[in-house]
Amino acid sequence: MNKKKIINDPVYGFVSIPSGLIYDLIQHPYIQRLRYIKQVSMTHLVYPGALHTRFQHVIGAMHLMSLAIETLRGKGVEITKEEEEAALAAILLHDVGHGPFSHSLEHTLVEGVSHELISSLLMDKLNQEFVGQLDLAITIFNDRYHRKFLHQLVSSQLDTDRMDYLNRDSFFTGVSEGVISFDRIIKMLNVADGELVVEIKGIYSIEKFLIARRLMYWQVYLHKTVIAAEQMLIKALARAKQLTNEGQVLFASPALNHFLTNSINKTTFLQTEAHLSWFTRLDDTDIMSAIKTWTEHEDPILSLLCSKLIRRDLFRTEMSNEPFDPMYVAELKQAVLERFEIAKEDLGYLFYEQVVGNSAYDSSNSKICVLEKNGQLKDIAEASDLSNIEALTKRVDKYAVIYPKEINYILFNQEEIINN
């Protein structure tokens, strides 16, 4: 069977599948599951085009990895066929552990377990199935390979993962501020002292990359309406789990039912192999079929959350650069209690406080090094003549309060009555 296929990607055009191993990995149910997990969770409720999937993302990241390796070889960096295939496999599998709705429900269905850990566990299972063919890929993925630049192409401040998701997410949301010069960046990559670096000619493309990342976080990933939708989804599942624990039987697919009826933390997840097996059967369709059915549940809180999600009648989010006045927060909470006639212990299902933040460039984690013409290496923040770059290294936090829109209407009417 000919396994050297091509995939027509809307962002990059034709993407080649270079080997039989990569083809077999793509065809595996673990990777095919990613077709049914949205890349940017609830973002489609703000940007209707954002319905692309994790599957599209990992294929795109693999394509960029292939271009990066081709560029480095052209500059005299020796990369064996085995190293190339391992790097491609590592980036293809880097998101295999994502659960439904990507980051939104991480730590919700399985408490304290990250998608990175689940990806690592699934890679180990795949390696057994593929009789050790993923040994080098796993070594690169875990940053244990002596040629560090290969891991940096998979995971760093300037990896093929970030390059693809910024490019892809801006494409499907229509947010042009996120467009990056990925082809220019890749052409400017090089290796010095075993580490991935960017030649000085590419410094402006890197500056644009970092600024685009900052803008995408505030305009897309941390958009206030997206935050509200994601919190409502999280709280709906939390309510369903509470009702299940109290003995109620809720509609759920077998996979979702497993996580509703079992209390699973990191320790129990690692000890019981069945949990990982059930996890690989979960995707967005399990969650959405349950949400649609729970709109008619007799529990008023669960039905309210699910109905509002389905109708896109989303909660209001207020954001501030400073913490909210405790008196104002108390007033909002009291209004929620009175309007919806719920017990005080259930307030957390309809009123949320959250701190959101990001830094476009975290130099304490790993650095983007610029290779100057004299052979010296400098951190991008030091090499750039753009003062904004240093500002992008600082974490920016914003404070949010999230509550049903009916409350804003009540408070507005109360103010009108007082003023009159």
The Cα–Cα gap between 75 and 69 comes to 10
At 288-303, the pLDDT tens digits run 999 999 999 999 999 9
381 and 361 Cβ atoms separated by less than 8 Å:
yes
The Cα–Cα gap between 105 and 47 comes to 20
At 131-148, the pLDDT tens digits run 999 999 999 999 999 999
Give mean pLDDT, residues 367-379. Answer: 91
At 184, list the tokens: 């220019």
Residue 413 has pLDDT above 60, yes or no: no
Residue 366 backbone class (left: φ over 0; alpha: ψ -120 to 50; beta: rest): beta
| pLDDT value at residue 216 | 94
Residue 213 has pLDDT above 60, yes or no: yes
| pLDDT value at residue 142 | 95
Residue 344 has pLDDT above 60, yes or no: yes
Q: Which domains are present in the chain?
A: 6-222+361-394 (1.10.3210.10), 243-356+400-419 (1.20.1250.30)
At 176-210, the pLDDT tens digits run 988 999 999 999 999 999 999 999 999 999 989 99
Query: Which amino acid makes up residue 11?
Result: V
Q: Which residue, 319, 344, 315, 341, is CA-closest to 408?
A: 315
The secondary structure of the chain, three-state, reads CCCCCEEEECCCEEEECCCHHHHHHHHCHHHHHHHHCECCHHHHHCCCCCCCEHHHHHHHHHHHHHHHHHHHHHCCCCCCHHHHHHHHHHHHHCCCCCCCCCCCCCCCCCECCCHHHHHHHHHHHHHHHCCCCCHHHHHHHCCCCCCHHHHHHHCCCCCHHHHHHHHHHHHHHCCHHHCCCHHHHHHCEEEECCEEEEEHHHHHHHHHHHHHHHHHHHHHHCCHHHHHHHHHHHHHHHHHHHHHHCCCCCCCCHHHHHHHHCCCEHHHHHHCHHHHHHHCCCCHHHHHHHHHHHCCCCCHHHHHHHHHHHHCCCCEEEEECCCCCHHHHHHHHHHHHHHHCCCHHHHHHCCEEEEEEECCCCCCCCCCEEECCCCCEEEHHHHCCCHHHHHHCCCEEEEEEEECHHHHHHHHHHHHHHHC
Sign of CA dihedral 47, 349, 336, 330: negative
Sign of CA dihedral 80, 84, 85, 89: positive
| pLDDT value at residue 387 | 57
User: Any bridge partners for residue 358, and if so which?
Assistant: 396
Q: Of all residues in the chain, what percent carry a pLDDT higher than 70?
A: 96
Give mean pLDDT, residues 5-32. Answer: 96
pLDDT band at 418 (very low <50, low <70, confident <90, very high): very low
CA atoms within 13 A on the CB side of 14: 5
pLDDT band at 3 (very low <50, low <70, confident <90, very high): confident
| pLDDT value at residue 419 | 47
| pLDDT value at residue 108 | 85
| pLDDT value at residue 386 | 62
| pLDDT value at residue 363 | 72
Ramachandran angles phi, psi of 7, nearest 5° = -120, 135
Residue 262 has pLDDT above 80, yes or no: yes
| pLDDT value at residue 420 | 43
At 347-370, the pLDDT tens digits run 999 999 999 998 888 877 788 999
314 and 244 Cβ atoms separated by less than 8 Å:
no
The Cα–Cα gap between 20 and 33 comes to 20
| pLDDT value at residue 417 | 43
pLDDT band at 1 (very low <50, low <70, confident <90, very high): low
Residue 412 has pLDDT above 90, yes or no: no
Q: Pick the residue with more confidence: 417 or 146?
A: 146
- What lies within 8 Å, CB to CB, of 180 at 6+ separation is 163, 166, 167, 170, 205, 208, 209, 212
When computed from its CA atoms, the radius of gyration of the chain, rounded to whole angstroms, is 23
328 and 408 Cβ atoms separated by less than 8 Å:
no
In 10 A of CB 300, how many CB atoms?
12
| pLDDT value at residue 410 | 65
Give mean pLDDT, residues 119-126. Answer: 97
Tell me the pairing of strands 369-371 and 195-199: parallel
Average pLDDT, the chain: 93
pLDDT band at 87 (very low <50, low <70, confident <90, very high): very high
- What lies within 8 Å, CB to CB, of 2 at 6+ separation is none
C-alpha 59 chain-centroid distance: 16
User: Any bridge partners for residue 400, and if so which?
Assistant: 319, 354
